[in-house]
Every structure is written in C-alpha cells, then in structure tokens.
Amino acid sequence: MRYIYSFLDTLYYQFYQLYHFIPNNDIHFKVLAIIGCSFGFILQFSLNFLLSKFICYAEIMLFYYLVVMAFSFFSVYKYYNKSRVKRILKLKPYFFKNKKLSHFLTVLYFLSCFIIYLFAAYIAKENFNSCV
C-alpha cells in the first residue's frame, strides 16, 4: 500500500506542476479529479474486457460513468486534506528521485489513460462480437 500512496503522491505533484500555471481558485480539487478519473478509466477498461471476453456481457454506459465518478469521488475524499497536500508539495516527490523520468512517466501514464478511454469500447465490442 505504501507504494501505491507513493505513486499517487508523485502523480499528484506532477499534475500539480502542470496545472499550477493555469489561474483558478481550486487547483487541488481539479488535480484530484483528474487522478480519480484516470484510475476509473483503467478499472473500467479492465471490467469491460473481462465481461466481454469471458462472460459475453455487453457494457452498460451508466455503469461506465458510475465507476469513473466513484473513483473520482473516492480520490477526492481519501486524498483531499490540507496537511497531506502541504506535505506532498513540501516533499516534491519524484519517481526514482529523477525529475525527467517523473515527467516522462507522468505523460506516459496520462497518454495511456487517454488511449484506454478511446479504445475500450472498440475492444469490448470486438470481444463481444466474437462471443455471439
């Protein structure tokens, strides 16, 4: 569990660095919502793949959005306190204590979540069509 929190702290700090240039009033909430949605997309892709490949069950779009929203709210609820945010910003965590590697892995993570979001429905459809 410690590694997951370390990963989330590093993602939080990297996304915070990306968004702190944009003037707004609640940057922390937006960063946490992005992290929650990205984990929701990964979980939803996994569930769609398993349901369509092995059970031949078609996806329900309401379920798709509920999972993403649930992960967003969970991340905000679990992570959104001032002391944790201050500690993350003070520590400035990086992956393997390397700044460039942290930037690269964060961009790679964000792009992989975006690609999963785009192709999840197509892959589930292809798997479901092979069942019928």
pLDDT in tens, the chain (132 residues): 678 778 888 888 888 888 777 776 778 778 877 887 787 777 777 777 777 777 776 666 667 677 777 777 776 677 667 778 888 889 988 888 899 999 898 889 888 888 887 877 777 677 767 765
Number of structural domains, the chain? Answer: 1
Show the domain range for 74. Answer: 25-131
DSSP state string for 27-89: HHHHHHHHHHHHHHHHHHHHHHHHIIIII-----HHHHHHHHHHHHHHHHHHH--HHHHHHHH
Whether 69 maps to a domain, the answer reads yes
The pTM of this model reads: 0.73
Whether 59 maps to a domain, the answer reads yes
Whether 14 maps to a domain, the answer reads no
